[in-house]
Structure formats: structure tokens, C-alpha cells
């Protein structure tokens, strides 16, 4: 195989790729003109609910009861731990829950 034929084949291939690239560049320019600048996302309007108006100040209202200064003790005799739920400390509350589950399983 002579050298000239291999180089000629590569040259033809390179020219066809270059012409394809030119066509692609033209298409990208057309799309860019239709859509805006390439690489930028179009701006969206506000999403979600509107917030409070700018002139309105935040009300300083508290919700719920104020915590008592003295903590409550567990209802079980001899236990002086803080109340977790249903007048029981965390340990006794879990014991109560286990008993309820065992009764329900039977």
C-alpha cells in the first residue's frame, strides 16, 4: 500500500469531520438565538407561597406553657428521676410499654 493513499484517506476523513463540526456550530448558534445565551438557565418566577408583607413585624407571641422551675418526679415509689411521659421517668415508661406490648401479643 503506497504512503500517499493512506494520507489521502486520512485527509478526506479529517475534511468530512471538519464540515460536520461546522454544521453543528451553525445549529448550536440557531438554538442559542431561540433560547437565549448558551449555558444560562432561564429565570423562573417566584416559587411557593409568598411570605409576610415587608411592613409587618414579627409578633413576639409564645406558644404553649412556660416550663415550671421545679421538675416533676416519677410516679413510681422510690424513684426520683425526672418525668418523661405519663408521669413516669424514661425507665419506667419503657417498662410500662413493654408490659402493654406483651399483653397485646398474647
Domain count, the chain: 2
State the pLDDT at residue 79.
95
Query: Going by C-beta distance under 8 Å and a sequence separation of 6 or more, which residues neighbour residue 86?
Result: 93, 96
DSSP helix/strand/coil, 74: coil
User: Hey, what's the cell of 55?
Assistant: 411592613
Residue 86 lies in a domain: yes
Higher pLDDT: 10 or 94? It is 94
pLDDT tens digit sequence for 52-103: 777 777 777 777 777 777 888 999 999 999 999 999 999 999 999 999 999 9
| pLDDT-derived band at 1, boundaries 50, 70, 90 | very low
Which one, of 31, 97, 5, lies nearest residue 88 by Cα? 97
Which whole number is the average pLDDT over 30-57?
69
Across all residues in the chain, what is the average pLDDT?
82
Residue 66 lies in a domain: no
Residue 16 lies in a domain: yes
CA atoms within 13 A on the CB side of 32: 10
| Domain that includes residue 101, residue range | 71-106
Higher pLDDT: 97 or 6? It is 97
State the pLDDT at residue 10.
87
Amino acid at each position: 500500500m503506497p504512503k500517499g493513499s493512506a494520507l489521502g484517506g486520512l485527509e478526506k476523513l479529517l475534511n468530512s469531520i471538519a464540515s460536520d463540526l461546522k454544521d453543528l456550530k451553525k445549529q448550536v448558534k440557531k438554538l442559542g438565538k431561540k433560547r437565549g445565551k448558551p449555558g444560562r438557565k432561564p429565570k423562573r418566577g417566584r416559587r411557593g407561597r409568598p411570605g409576610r408583607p415587608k411592613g409587618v413585624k414579627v409578633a413576639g407571641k409564645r406558644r404553649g406553657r412556660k416550663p415550671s422551675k421545679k421538675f416533676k418526679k416519677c410516679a413510681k415509689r422510690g424513684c426520683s428521676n425526672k418525668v418523661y411521659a405519663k408521669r413516669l421517668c424514661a425507665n419506667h415508661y419503657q417498662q410500662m410499654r413493654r408490659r402493654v406490648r406483651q399483653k397485646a401479643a398474647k
